[in-house]
Amino acid sequence: MKTGKSLVLTALLAVMPVVAVQAKPVEKPAEKPAAKVEAKEITWDELMPAPDQKVIDRYQAGKMERADVIAYLDKLGQTPVEKLDKRTVRIPGYLVPLNLDKDQKATELLLVPTMGACVHVPPPPPNQTIYVKYKDGIKVEEAGYTPYWLVGALHVETNQSEYTETLYAMTVDTLEVYK
């Protein structure tokens, strides 16, 4: 036997009009393909801040001592260009491996502007060396002697290796021999 509450509920359901409800599929907005970020081709000069014109004028006028010139150039070499942080860039250079696996592939390297730069002392200034991570790894046959084009996101970040300090790092998307 049905209780009072269940009788009322049954009666209400019996007299209510039957409405068919059909769920409509939710339309997703058309997915746009991820915008390909255009790599800005840069030169090594762009990784160093512009020199102060007053310092240049003092130097050209012969009003700077040799030690002051060296100290100023050292300061420039220790200064990154912040506006390049997180920019996708394309830059040429020479690779020097920092690690090698059993197949002689490196996933961590230094990118330097000139041939054999990290083999000779002193190394390039910190803002003229890029710490590189390349997940696919590359077999560097002639370390520091084959030029490459690297494309990837450049980051202003300090890294220290046994060879040098760097003020930039790059996670490489593509790498190809320089032609």
Query: What total number of domains does the chain contain?
Result: 1
Is residue 76 included in any domain, yes or no? yes
Counting residues of the chain whose pLDDT is more than 90, the rounded percentage is 56
Q: Is 22 part of any domain? A: no
Q: Is 20 within the bounds of a domain? A: no
What CATH number is associated with residue 53?
A: 2.40.50.870
Q: Is residue 110 part of a domain?
A: yes
**What's the average model confidence in pLDDT over 46-72?**
95
Cβ contacts of 114 within 8 Å, gap of 6 or more: 94, 124
To which H or E segment does residue 13 belong?
helix 4-15
Compute the distance between CA of residue 137 and CA of residue 97 in angstroms, rounded to an integer.
10
Its domain, for residue 83, covers 40-177
Nearest to 144, CA basis, from 173, 124, 127 = 124
pLDDT one-digit tens code per residue, 23-52: 334 344 455 555 567 999 999 999 999 999
User: What pTM did the predictor assign?
Assistant: 0.75
> Residue 129 corresponds to which tokens in the numbers above?
């060396």
> E-strand spans in the chain?
40-41, 87-97, 105-112, 130-139, 147-160, 165-177
Alpha carbons 104 and 150: distance in angstroms, whole number: 20
Q: Which two tokens stand for residue 16?
A: 């209510």
Q: Residue 21: which pLDDT band, with cuts at 50, 70 and 90? A: very low
